[in-house]
Every structure is written in structure tokens, then in C-alpha cells.
Chains A and B, each alone.
Chain A
């Protein structure tokens, strides 16, 4: 079955770049997503990338996809304290009517 793995914790200083990594096993993944969960709230979609792309940039966010290694990363430039949250990667596959989420990476940004 599908499996999505992330490291559990990342700590950075304000103004630095953050890189959150994710690996997945399903080679038929069609879309890969990054969701953000702030304390006490549900998840919100940050960005997504289609499997035939290798990079997508959206303001401070850069998503890199290495399909050969099944590796996805999210880079946040100029990280702010408001970026402190849990970040989940997720993947969907054509024909599978569900998203499979990773374990989530807790990002802590210190002043």
C-alpha cells in the first residue's frame, strides 16, 4: 500500500530558510500536496504539484519533486514565527479516491 514518511520535527531561526522533506512509495502518485495545520485547527492546503513537474514556486514557497527517488520537499524562504505549525505532505493516485498523509513535521520558528 501507499506510505508517506516525514521527519517529525524541525527547528529554525526567524529569517532562515526551512526545508521540510517527505518520501513516498506509490510510484503512480498523480498529485502531491503540502498542507499546514496551525494549533487547534484543521488542515489547510498550502500548495500542490503535479507529478510531471519537478518544481513549483509560489511566493515564499518552493516545492521540489524528485520522482525517481520519490522525494518531495517544501522550502519556506525567510521563515517567520507565524510559519510555526505542523506541515503534512500527502499524495493521491489516479483512481484512488483518497489522500494518503504523512506523519507531519512540526516546524518551530524561534525569534
Chain B
């Protein structure tokens, strides 16, 4: 049972480049989300999805796009990378939205540097 798988683990981009961070889960979770982690700021929610075909914005959505065409996959797209997007990105999933006692399962993270 792989859980939540994120790829790549590390990525360096130049300003203006685009890329997609991949997230896949094999637990049949309906809820998936993307967070970024920055020093002294904790985790901030970028986008989330409560099921296939449904996405919504979190606290810091600007510069990022998501889609949810299948239950398993929730890719995060950086449209035109900026140095302010240098961060560690985490994908997390759960059976249902976390306004319950549902546990969030986290991937191991993608460390992104934008030069």
C-alpha cells in the first residue's frame, strides 16, 4: 500500500518556467489537497478537492492551477514559476473533508527551488 506518492522529490526551475507536481493516492480517498511549507509560516493551503471534477481555492492559490479528473490523481501546476514559489510542497488526502475526525495522509514532499 503506497499511500500518497509525490513526484518529483526535488526540482529546480528558472523564473518563468512551468511545471507540474504530481500527487497520487491509492486509498480511494475523496479529499485531496496541496499545501506549501515555508519557514516560520507553517503549512498554507493552496488548493483542495472534495472529489473528482471538484476543486476549490485555499489560502494561497495565486500562480497555481489544479484539476481532478480521477479520484487517484491531483496534480499541481505552476504556470510561470517565480522565486516566491520556492518552497516545500505537500500533497495530503483523506476519506472525507477534514471537518470531522478524519486523518490527513501526507506525501513525503517536493522541494522546489525557483532561481
A-side residues, CB < 8 A to B, are 4, 6, 8, 30-31, 35, 40-45, 48, 50, 88, 92-104
Known: A43-B92, A45-B104. 16 other contacts (CB 8 A): A6-B42, A31-B98, A41-B108, A41-B109, A42-B4, A42-B107, A48-B101, A50-B101, A97-B31, A97-B56, A97-B97, A98-B33, A98-B98, A99-B45, A101-B43, A103-B41
Whether the Cβ atoms of B106 and A102 lie closer than 8 Å is no
B90 touches which of A43, A94, A104 (Cβ 8 Å): A43
**Which A residues touch B56, using CB under 8 A?**
97
Interface size on B, residues (CB 8 A): 27
**Which A residues touch B97, using CB under 8 A?**
97-98
**Is B50 at the interface (CB under 8 A from chain A)?**
yes
